[in-house]
Chains A and B, each alone.
Chain A
Amino acid sequence: DAGVIQSPRHEVTEMGQEVTLRCKPISGHDYLFWYRQTMMRGLELLIYFNNNVPIDDSGMPEDRFSAKMPNASFSTLKIQPSEPRDSAVYFCASNDSGTGNSPLHFGNGTRLTVT
């Protein structure tokens, strides 16, 4: 399996622009997680899905952030409008039983820079 695939790897955009990050989880995994990593705050869970349904979005910082999972093989994280403080590395991860007893498989992340 190719693992969790994220695109793009790098995104540079100007403040106010819309940003869309994409993720393809490992086939057969029914849980998908979006994390954000910054030096100051470390890794923060933004939202996770089970069987394409959002389960917990309490980590989404504000209404400018939205996430969707239209099918089992694709998810997006959208920021509209983007702000400089959104600059971070965004990771997608998946597993097949929630995080209770199985490890997460991470993609290589999207490094977002908002100027």
Chain B
Amino acid sequence: SQQGEEDPQALSIQEGENATMNCSYKTSINNLQWYRQNSGRGLVHLILIRSNEREKHSGRLRVTLDTSKKSSSLLITASRAADTASYFCATVGGSNYKLTFGKGTLLTVNP
């Protein structure tokens, strides 16, 4: 079963705008990761946030984690057409090493 659920399923914005995607999960986690997938390609890791962290930045990316609400958000600032892709959250929990993915948010950035 899927652990993370992204919201919205699809998002369309104009270049230069910010894009926010949300992820909710059900059980306790060790860390949460965000990945990007361009059409026809494999997933690419963007950022990892541990359960004891609340916020993390990487370039134009900002990830927050609220373990009390079992949710995370990914913010892409000043979006570019090249940011068009599907974005997935993935969680690792408990003593296993399974990385469980949500179904993703399809982001379209219009030039």
Contact = CB atoms under 8 A, between A and B. Distances in A.
A48 B97 CA distance: 9
Nearest to B104: A42
Nearest to B6: A42
B101 A56 contact: no
Interface residues of B, number: 24
Interface residues of A, number: 24
Contact of A42 (B92, B97, B99, B102): B102
20 contacts: A4-B42, A42-B103, A42-B104, A43-B88, A45-B98, A45-B100, A55-B97, A93-B42, A98-B97, A99-B92, A99-B97, A100-B31, A100-B97, A101-B31, A101-B50, A104-B35, A105-B45, A106-B43, A106-B44, A108-B41
Interface of A: 4, 31, 33, 35, 42-43, 45, 48, 55-56, 91, 93, 98-109
